[in-house]
Amino acid sequence: MATTSGLAANTANSEHFEQLHRQLLADPSLQFRIEHTPPPKPPEWLSWLEPLADLIKFISPVLGYVFWAGVIVIAGMIAYAILNEVLRRLPRNAPASSEPFVAPEPQFRPAAARAHALLEEADRLAREGRFAEAVRILLHRSIEDMEQAFPAAIAPSMTSREISKLQYLSAGGRATFTKIAEAVEASLFGGRALNATHFADCRAAYSNFVFEAPSK
C-alpha cells in the first residue's frame, strides 16, 4: 500500500510539473530560442567610407611591406643624423694657411679737368716769369686734391716729405710729388731761384702722372 501511494504521488507531481512547463513555454514574454538575425545595416552617412574600405582591403597584402619600409627609412635617417653629428665633433686638420686677401688701397690721381685747369694757371705764371710760383701752385693744388680725396690721411702739420710717403700714392705719383716738393723746398728754404727748365721738368712730371694710363 505504501508503495502504491508513493507511485501515485509521483505521477501527480510529474503531471503537475509538465503542466507548469507547458505554461512556461506558452508564455510569449519569455524567449527560449536564439534566433540568428542579420546584422543591422550601417547608417547611410557612412556610405562614403566604402571606397576607402575597399582600397584598404585591396592594398592590405602589401601594408606589411610598407610598414617595414617606413621603419627602415626612419632608422636610416636617425643613423645618418647620429653619424653626421659624430663626424662634426671629430677634430679636423686645419686647412693649409694661405695668404690673407688684402684689398688694394685706392691710389690718388687728380681729376683730368682739375689737372688741366691747374696746368693752365701754372703756364700763365710761367709765361710771366714767375717760375717759383708756378711750381708751388702745382705742389699746393696737388696737396689740396689729396686732402679732398683722403681727408683723414693728411694732417695740417704734415710736411711734404711725410705726404710723399702716403700709401695712397703710386710709385709714379710719389716720384712726381717728391720732385715738385724738392724744387719748392730748394726755392723757399735753399734760396735757389727756379727757372724755366725747373718749371718744365716739374710740369712734365705732373702731366705724365695725371694723363698717362695707370700701371697695372
At 1-39, the pLDDT tens digits run 545 665 566 666 777 777 777 777 776 766 666 666 667
Find out whether 170 and 214 touch, Cβ atoms under 8 Å. yes
Q: Which three cell numbers stand for residue 11?
A: 505521477
Q: What does the pLDDT read at residue 124?
A: 93
Distance CA 182, CA 177 (A): 9
Query: Please, which pLDDT band fits residue 211 given cuts at 50, 70 and 90?
Result: confident
Q: What average pLDDT score do residues 55-69 get?
A: 77
A 10 A CB-CB count for 139 gives 21
Question: Of the candidates 183, 181, 214, which has an alpha carbon nearest to the alpha carbon of residue 109?
Answer: 214
- Whether the pLDDT of residue 216 is over 50: the answer is no
Q: What does the pLDDT read at residue 37?
A: 66
- Whether the pLDDT of residue 188 is over 70: the answer is yes
Q: 20-34, 103-117, 127-141, 196-210: lowest mean pLDDT where?
A: 20-34
- Whether the pLDDT of residue 68 is over 90: the answer is no
Report the C-alpha dihedral over residues 68, 71, 73, 76, rounded to 10 degrees.
Answer: -130
Domain segments of the chain as ranges: 112-211
The answer to whether the pTM exceeds 0.75 is no
Q: What does the pLDDT read at residue 168?
A: 75
Find out whether 25 and 17 touch, Cβ atoms under 8 Å. no
DSSP state of 158: -
Question: Of the candidates 138, 216, 133, 120, which has an alpha carbon nearest to the alpha carbon of residue 177?
Answer: 138
Higher pLDDT, 195 or 159: 195
Q: What average pLDDT score do residues 118-124 get?
A: 91
Q: What does the pLDDT read at residue 137?
A: 92
Distance CA 165, CA 155 (A): 13
Distance CA 138, CA 177 (A): 9
Distances in Å between the Cα of 69 and the Cα atoms of 57, 58, 79 are 20, 19, 15
- Whether the pLDDT of residue 127 is over 90: the answer is yes
